[in-house]
Amino acid sequence: MARPDKAAKVAELADQFSNSAAAVLTEYRGLTVKDLKELRRSLGENASYAVAKNTLTAIAAKEAGIEGIEDTLTGPTAIAFVSGDIAAATKGLRDFAKAHPSLAIKGGVLEGKFLDAQAVLKLADLESREVLLAKMAGAMQANLAKAAYLLAAPLSQGARALGALATAAEANPSLIGGAGSAPATEATDETPAADAAPEAAEAAE
C-alpha cells in the first residue's frame, strides 16, 4: 500500500474512532467469508465491520487520543464501529461469538476510553435504547397522570363541599343569612367606609 493510501486509511480510522458511539476490536481468525457476511448482516445498521491493519489502527487510535489499545492489536483484527445502539451491537457480537467460537472480542473503545474484553461484554447486558425509551415514556405517563390527579382533586373536593352546603341551605335557610341577625344596611355614597358592610366596601374598591 502506498504511503498516501496509508495516511488516508489512518485518517479514516481516526475519524471513526472519534465519531462512533463505540468500537469493538475482534479477532476473526478461523471465520470464513460467509461467516463475516453473516456477522455484518447480524449487526444491521447498528455498526460497520471491517478488517484493519494493526499498525494503522495503533496510529489512528493514538491520533484519536485513545491509550491502552496497543496490547490488543495482535493477530488479525477486525473492528466493529458502532453508529447506533451500543447495547444492541455488542449483544449481536456476543451472540455471534457464542455461535462461532472463532470470533474473539479483544477489547473496545467507549467515549475515547479503552475497554477490555470483559467490559465490552458487560455493555451487551445493558438494556437497549428502545427499552430505556419505553421505560422513560411509561414513567412520564405515570407522572403526568399523578399530576393530573393532584390538580383535579382539590376541584372535586371543592365541588363536593359546595354541594353539601347547598343541600344544607335548602334544609335550613337561616344558615345563609345567620339566625337572629339584623338585615344588612345598604351602603350609600354618604355612608362612612368603616360603617359599610365588608361586601359593599370591597365592591366600592
Count CB-CB contacts under 10 A for residue 36.
17
Judge if 53 and 139 occupy the same domain: no
What pLDDT digit, counting tens, does each position of 31-88 carry?
Answer: 999 999 999 998 888 899 999 999 999 999 999 999 999 999 999 999 999 998 999 8
Judge if 101 and 152 occupy the same domain: no
The answer to whether residues 66 and 107 touch, using CB atoms and an 8 Å cutoff, is no
Judge if 136 and 120 occupy the same domain: no
What pLDDT digit, counting tens, does each position of 88-123 carry?
Answer: 899 999 999 999 999 999 999 999 999 999 999 999
Per-residue model confidence (pLDDT) at position 122 = 92
Judge if 30 and 86 occupy the same domain: yes
The answer to whether residues 79 and 24 touch, using CB atoms and an 8 Å cutoff, is yes
Judge if 151 and 58 occupy the same domain: no
Q: Which domain holds residue 31?
A: 3-125
The answer to whether residues 112 and 63 touch, using CB atoms and an 8 Å cutoff, is no
What pLDDT digit, counting tens, does each position of 163-197 carry?
Answer: 665 666 666 655 545 444 444 445 454 444 444 44
Judge if 61 and 144 occupy the same domain: no
The CATH number that applies at residue 45 is: 3.30.70.1730
Q: Rounded to whole angstroms, how far apart are CA atoms 100 and 35?
A: 8
Cα dist. 160→153, 156, 168 in Å? Answer: 11, 6, 12
In a domain, 52, yes or no: yes
Judge if 23 and 117 occupy the same domain: yes
Judge if 121 and 132 occupy the same domain: no
